[in-house]
């Protein structure tokens, strides 16, 4: 039972991270029908940029609320800017091109970001300082919670609720939903599609940036190629939840995190990815539109 509860906590933590990253994928896919392969690498970039900002600007060892908050905000702004730049340079020129051209461009962008990180920060693992968050630990019936884990779950939940409200209650959110349903019709209704897409990239990249910083703070070791695996897992989570569906991405992320943690806890962490993809294929066979996805008749 203890192992179950412990893995539940670990699973919820990693699941929150997957959910944050998955939101970026699902929003872009919903509107542009494009797998943004570079999104995972933005997450990795955020961890590196955040580390540099923290060490160079504020200096290691400072961990007041102001400093930590500034690191998060500045990093999120930078990554959001990179995301917008990515869309402008690599995706916008290909909006009317064949589908696969944009996929190749996204793969290219992923390579560019990943290798830029490697050239700037070097190929070796960088270690996040341990004192960014207080190292408080609570123990409850033998189950260990760290302060960082609680923060990850709490802040992710807050961000997701915020995003849900933004998408469902604001004018821009309505525009995003309309564009996702039919881009041409949205344009005819006077929606500025370019601005919608820009907004999506800003929000998605900023959420990814928060996830990247959390990954650095929680797991400490960061490598230039870690974005690929987080990105792939998050994309799998987005598909599980129903791609293009925002609550689906949140649910998919949490469920995948829990699934991974249970596999690692009870079976073996060496086979974690295998189980993830077997689960994906099973879901795709029995419910191709995902858990929350609706079956839409294909337009001809």
Which residues sit at the interface with other proteins, rule CB under 8 A? 29, 33, 35, 89-90, 93-94, 96-105, 107-116, 118-119, 232, 235-236, 239, 243, 270-271, 273-274, 276-278, 280-281, 284-285, 288, 298, 300
What's the min distance (Å) between Cβ of 233 and other proteins? 11
Q: Which residues of 126-145 are buried (b: 16+ CB within 10 A; e: fewer)?
A: bebeeebbeeeeeeeeebeb
Main-chain dihedrals φ then ψ at residue 57, nearest 5 degrees: -85, -50
Q: Identify which of residues 123 and 154 has a Cβ nearer to other proteins in the complex.
A: 123
Interstrand relation of 143-146 and 137-140 (parallel, antiparallel or unpaired)? antiparallel
List the one residue out of 5, 300, 24 whose CA is nearest residue 160.
24
What's the min distance (Å) between Cβ of 104 and other proteins? 5
Interstrand relation of 143-146 and 221-222 (parallel, antiparallel or unpaired)? unpaired
What's the min distance (Å) between Cβ of 154 and other proteins? 31
* CB of 78 closer than 8 Å to CB of 240: no
* CB of 17 closer than 8 Å to CB of 231: no
What's the min distance (Å) between Cβ of 19 and other proteins? 18
Task: Provide the 8-state DSSP code for 271.
Answer: G
List the one residue out of 13, 40, 76, 41 whose CA is nearest residue 233.
40
What's the min distance (Å) between Cβ of 246 and other proteins? 18
Would you state the structure tokens that stand for residue 99, as one six-digit string? 């589908």
| Block residue for tokens 């599609």 | 193
Bridge partner residues of 222 (DSSP):
126
* CB of 37 closer than 8 Å to CB of 231: yes
* CB of 201 closer than 8 Å to CB of 87: yes
Q: Identify which of residues 266 and 271 has a Cβ nearer to other proteins in the complex.
A: 271
Q: Identify which of residues 146 and 289 has a Cβ nearer to other proteins in the complex.
A: 289
Q: Identify which of residues 93 and 142 has a Cβ nearer to other proteins in the complex.
A: 93
What's the min distance (Å) between Cβ of 238 and other proteins? 10
What's the min distance (Å) between Cβ of 176 and other proteins? 20
Q: Identify which of residues 145 and 275 has a Cβ nearer to other proteins in the complex.
A: 275
Distance between CA atoms of residues 89 and 268, nearest Å: 42
Q: Identify which of residues 111 and 189 has a Cβ nearer to other proteins in the complex.
A: 111
* CB of 114 closer than 8 Å to CB of 227: yes
What's the min distance (Å) between Cβ of 120 and other proteins? 11
Q: Identify which of residues 71 and 90 has a Cβ nearer to other proteins in the complex.
A: 90
Q: Identify which of residues 89 and 125 has a Cβ nearer to other proteins in the complex.
A: 89
């Amino acid at each position: 039972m203890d192992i179950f509860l412990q893995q539940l906590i670990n699973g919820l933590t990693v699941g929150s991270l997957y959910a944050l990253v998955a939101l970026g994928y699902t929003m872009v896919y919903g509107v542009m029908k494009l797998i943004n392969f570079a999104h995972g690498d933005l997450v990795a970039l955020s961890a590196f940029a955040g580390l540099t900002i923290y060490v160079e600007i504020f200096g290691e060892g400072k961990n007041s609320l102001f400093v930590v908050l500034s690191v998060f905000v500045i990093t999120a702004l930078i990554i959001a800017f990179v995301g917008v730049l990515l869309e402008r340079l690599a995706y916008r020129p290909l909006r009317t091109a064949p589908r696969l051209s944009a996929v190749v461009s996204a793969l290219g962008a992923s390579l560019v970001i990943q290798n830029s990180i490697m050239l700037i920060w070097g190929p070796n693992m960088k270690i996040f300082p341990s004192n960014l968050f207080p190292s408080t630990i609570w123990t409850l019936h033998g189950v260990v919670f760290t302060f960082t884990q609680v923060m990850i779950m709490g802040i992710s939940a807050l961000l997701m609720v915020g995003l849900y409200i933004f998408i469902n209650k604001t004018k821009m959110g309505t525009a995003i939903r309309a564009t996702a349903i039919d881009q041409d019709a949205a344009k005819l209704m006077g929606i500025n599609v370019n601005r919608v897409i820009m907004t999506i990239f800003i929000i998605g990249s900023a959420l990814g940036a928060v996830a990247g910083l959390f990954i650095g703070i929680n797991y400490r070791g960061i490598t230039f190629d870690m974005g690929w695996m987080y990105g792939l897992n998050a994309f799998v989570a987005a598909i599980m939840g129903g791609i293009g569906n925002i609550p689906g991405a949140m649910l998919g992320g949490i469920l995948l995190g829990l699934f991974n943690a249970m596999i690692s806890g009870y079976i073996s962490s060496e086979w974690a990815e295998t189980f993830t993809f077997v689960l994906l294929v099973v879901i795709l066979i029995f419910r191709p539109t995902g858990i929350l996805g609706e079956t839409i008749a294909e337009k001809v």
